[in-house]
Amino acid sequence: MRYGTIAIVCALRSHGEHGAVARLMTPGHGLQAAYVRGARGRRMRPVLMAGNVVEAQLSARTETQLPQATVELVHSRGPLLSEPLPAAAIEWATVLTATALPEGQPYPRLYQTLEALLDAIEAAPSASGWGAALVRYELLLLAELGFGLDLDHCAVTGASDQLVAVSPKSGRAVSAAQAEPYAGKLLPLPPFVREGGQGTWAEIDEGLALTGHFLLRDLIAERSRGLAEARSRLVERLRRAGGLG
């Protein structure tokens, strides 16, 4: 098995004296784990930072063997790692990808959306410019792994307009009229989730509360408490940046 691919670095775990196992998100092969010689050396450490785009050459004698990889830097997001909020967002998006996805299954939409999210984090002057993109990525990841929310029609009436909330149990949208008797028991559905756009700080906070509920219930709880804590720290930083707490 031998192929070359563009990839986003998502995680790195030490292996041996100088090497490491890199987890790479690729457009055509999904999440791939590969051993990189010298990964912890001075030359390779800046290349294998989370969020970086690399050109990787993977090879293995059999399909069951851990591939070895040589990587070359295509685009570095290292400068962002000195900025607390962008660094936390990149860390969260990449570690979520590395933890949640099974290896070797292609998810081209997830790759494209992760790439767009990282580009937005890099380009936007503040987190209000990429917060909505983070919510969309989390929603897509849930959907790709079989935990998608039904946000197109009211769970009670089947209507597709005035959808303002989501049932925390079923993950189905609820219209304004049907949601009123259950105020405080449903999760808000911010308009940007269905209509597009960036959203206000308050709407981004609502969107993250929505995706966070289902991520914690369906994905994160079974994998890592540390992952849940990482997301909680990111959300708290976003709330402070937006003046929400």
Distance CA 210, CA 214 (A): 7
In the CATH scheme, what architecture does the domain 2-76 have? Beta Barrel (2.40)
pTM of structure: 0.94
Residue 52 in 3-state DSSP?
coil
Residues of the chain with CATH 2.40.50.140: 2-76
Q: Which of 44, 45, 41, 25 is nearest to 33 (CA)?
A: 25
DSSP 83-150: SHHHHHHHHHHHHHHHHHSPBT---HHHHHHHHHHHHHHHH-SSGGGTHHHHHHHHHHHHHHTT---B
Tens of pLDDT, residues 107-144: 999 999 999 999 999 999 889 999 999 999 999 999 99
Tens of pLDDT, residues 176-219: 999 999 988 999 999 999 999 989 999 999 999 999 999 999 98
